[in-house]
Structure 1
Amino acid sequence: MTDPGSDRARPPDSPPQAPDVAPADGGFAVVEMFTSQGCSSCPPAEEVLTEIDRDARANGQPVFALGFHVDYWDDLGWRDPFADAAYTARQQAYARAFGSGHLYTPQMVVNGTVEFVGSDRRRAATTIGAALTSAATTPLALSVQDGAPDTGDERTVVMDYQTERLPERAVLNVAIVERGLESQVARGENAGRTLRQDNVVRAFTSLGLEADRGRVTLQAPPDLDRRQATVVGYVQKDGDKAIVAATAVDLSPAAG
């Protein structure tokens, strides 16, 4: 889950080897969905998230899907194995930014500025389409380093980032998401169901950006299937939560 010790950028021992930053021009869409295995309304929304990711990967579109499993359903019969209080806190921060103060699942948030019920396919397609046509101004490059030279822990994922033209109070979010997860749910609203979920957030950190390049580390869970995992990085304004840059790198089995 979330690694409390990885919430800051640490200057690398040598200059980061992130690729040169390409000019930011075309749009992108970061699609965050707040969900829970304990919520009977969530599986249809998770199917939408799967479709979004599948279509984006097939068409080479810069659409980045992330499923954040919140923990406030855990006391109602089923403890979601992917839930984390930090993801609930992230949803709460969005609720404050939107001025609603209201938490619900499934909730989809696109580029940090538009929210709606996650199972609404038409709204998702329209919002993502609009995001892809909006020009981006902040570039971002992310590279995953082979091995974990600083720790010797094979679960440690080391990433170098490079960006420029940052807004004030910019935050870099980095997530490891995993596809193709299946869970047998024994209790709660989804009792007896086998849930298949994609792009589940397995590790996540946010850090304030004070430099346009640096290194970030995350601890991957021991059961992570790297063949089905991707690292997603995105730059966000700390105030209004607008996301201004995003990129992703598939996590190969040899990395980390």
Structure 2
Amino acid sequence: MTARACFLAFALPLLTVATSIAAPGIARAGDFTGVVELFTSQGCSSCPPADAEIAKMVKQGEVLALSYHVDYWNYLGWADTLSSAASTERQYGYALSLRRKNVYTPQMVINGQDHTNGADREAVDKIVKTLSDSGAGLTVDVAAKIDSVGLKISVGAGEGKANIVAVYFDDATEVNIKRGENSGRSITYHHSVRDMETIGMWDGEALSLILPVSVMSAYPGRGCAILLQVVGEDGSPGRILGAAMIEPDAST
């Protein structure tokens, strides 16, 4: 792999969605300028700078920032402890929708519509602003909160159709990497995605959903992002129209 971005050509896999459960936390909705998704790997020597940028984004809170750990670099001598086939499949899905012939790490996908090297914060910020200024940012209101009944999700009115996707993530995970390209390093990963599921569909009309407390309690302390995302006819993820987040419960 190079000192910049690590590329991998691909054959197109079938897209799958992993199932999971939400977690108690603190709601925050309607205040994101965009959604930034980093595709990274503990076995990629060029990824730590991008991982550090995600940590900054999480702290600043202007965008909804998520990290997806792919598994296709695991053969290099270190199996990423946060990696999953579902994360890899999501990145391949973006390659389809973005009409790319390869995938790479570190890659940041912005609002499901554009991408850049994950270590290039200036480029990420520019894409977020360009999409927002052109009306292609987060244009549909999405809110999420937790009470005694469960996780309540509301989506405002708009145009088009989209899936309502719940993305479950860990707040921060420190990993001591013992082999591979980052051998000997201790890296803290932020908002690492562990599971995803489609929980509803939106047809442009305002709607509300509730996930029960009994469903959410299986993963205490885990955060949950709610994405309103267009999906292509081939199942590939597309533009993200709106987003909200339930922050991890710091008390657990």
CA distance in structure 2 between the aligned counterparts of 1:5 and 1:201, rounded to whole angstroms? 12
* TM-score normalised to structure 1 length: 0.74
Instruction: Write out aligned runs for 1:85-100 (5 A).
Output: 85-100=85-100
Query: Secondary structure in 2 aligned to 1:33?
Result: strand
CA distance in structure 2 between the aligned counterparts of 1:192 and 1:251, rounded to whole angstroms? 29
The aligned residue for residue 45 of structure 2 is 40
CA distance in structure 1 between the aligned counterparts of 2:240 and 2:36, rounded to whole angstroms? 10
Shift of 1:45: 0.6
2:54 is equivalent to residue 49 of structure 1: yes
Amino acid of the structure 2 residue aligned with 1:128: V
1:62-95 superposed Cα distances (whole Å, 9 cap, x missing partner): x100000011111221111111101111001100
The aligned residue for residue 79 of structure 1 is 79
CA distance in structure 2 between the aligned counterparts of 1:170 and 1:85, rounded to whole angstroms? 23
Candidates 232, 239, 244, aligned match of 2:241: 244
CA distance in structure 1 between the aligned counterparts of 2:229 and 2:17, rounded to whole angstroms? 20
* TM-score normalised to structure 2 length: 0.75
CA distance in structure 2 between the aligned counterparts of 1:77 and 1:187, rounded to whole angstroms? 6
Query: Secondary structure in 1 aligned to 2:74?
Result: coil
Shift of 1:180: 2.9
8 Å CA contact 1:202, 1:220 repeated in 2? no
CA distance in structure 2 between the aligned counterparts of 1:202 and 1:36, rounded to whole angstroms? 14
Amino acid of the structure 2 residue aligned with 1:87: S
Paired residue total: 220
Query: Secondary structure in 2 aligned to 1:198?
Result: strand
Candidates 211, 220, 224, aligned match of 1:231: 224
1:30-69 superposed Cα distances (whole Å, 9 cap, x missing partner): 000000101111101111111122122xxxx3x1000000
The aligned residue for residue 68 of structure 2 is 68
Query: Secondary structure in 2 aligned to 1:127?
Result: helix
Identity %: 30
Shift of 1:160: 2.4
8 Å CA contact 1:169, 1:208 repeated in 2? no
CA distance in structure 1 between the aligned counterparts of 2:231 and 2:147, rounded to whole angstroms? 27
Which segments of 5 or more consecutive residues in structure 2 lack a partner in the other structure? 1-15, 22-26
Shift of 1:171: 1.0
Candidates 202, 209, 212, aligned match of 1:214: 209
Check 1:182–1:220 CA distance in 2 against 1; reply closer, same or farther (3 A cut).
farther
Shift of 1:245: 0.5
1:162-213 superposed Cα distances (whole Å, 9 cap, x missing partner): 1132544411121222233211111111111111111111332234415722
Amino acid of the structure 2 residue aligned with 1:41: S
The aligned residue for residue 110 of structure 2 is 110
